[in-house]
């Protein structure tokens, strides 16, 4: 399950890197779903709608009423990735498929624990790819990967401007 965004479907000015990254998540999920369907493995991307987070605060402040007009329940979502990651962290890894790659786009403050758990399930030559949207999340990934004994590889930064750069980071078991 991968978190995409309405920005993948309806991009807007000033958010080119975010929109591109979320479109990539959507398309990656669709491709993986087609690829793994024969093995009865489901892959999906979900679009949770506008979530009231720090990153959305400026848009909500400026355009809140207009944004709410397009939302049937007339309220913004609240961060719920913590519940999803908690479910994952409570799952026995021996019940999970052994993936070649895991893509992390949200972690709900549980990234170090997630990395340890993913390490248990990952194929020996597998990798973890993380898209970091802030210096803080980059630091957490680097520290978590180090604590898990993962090897960090050079990262790639995608930025058309300073508003929303994304850093794609990779860690492997060996």
DSSP string, 114-165: HHHHHHHHS-TT-EEEEEE-SHHHHHHHHHHHHHTTPEEEEEEEE-SSSSS-
18 is catalytic: yes
User: Minimal CA–CA distance to 110: which of 127, 133, 87?
Assistant: 87
- Cα separation, 174 vs 154, in Å, equals 14
CA distance 154 to 120: 23
Length reported for the chain: 174
Q: Scanning the structure block, which residue is given the tokens 């709900």?
A: 108
Residue 106 and residue 18: Cα distance in Å, rounded? 13
Angle between helices 81-89 and 111-121 (to 10 degrees): 40
Catalytically active residues are 18
């Amino acid at each position: 399950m991968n978190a995409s965004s309405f920005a993948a479907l309806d991009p807007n000015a000033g958010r080119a890197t975010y929109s591109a990254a979320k479109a990539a998540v959507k398309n990656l999920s669709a491709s993986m779903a087609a690829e793994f369907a024969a093995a009865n493995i489901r892959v999906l991307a979900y679009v949770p709608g506008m979530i009231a987070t720090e990153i959305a605060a400026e848009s909500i402040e400026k355009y809140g009423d207009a944004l709410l007009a397009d939302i049937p329940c007339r309220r913004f979502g609240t961060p719920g990735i913590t519940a999803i990651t908690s479910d994952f962290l409570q799952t026995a890894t021996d019940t999970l498929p052994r993936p070649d790659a895991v893509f992390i786009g949200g972690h709900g403050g549980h990234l170090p624990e997630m990395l340890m758990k993913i390490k248990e399930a990952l194929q020996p030559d597998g990798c973890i790819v993380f898209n970091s949207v802030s210096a803080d999340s980059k630091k957490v990934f680097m520290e978590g990967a180090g604590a898990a004994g993962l090897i960090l590889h050079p990262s790639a930064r995608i930025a058309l401007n300073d508003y929303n750069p994304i850093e794609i980071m990779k860690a492997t078991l060996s």
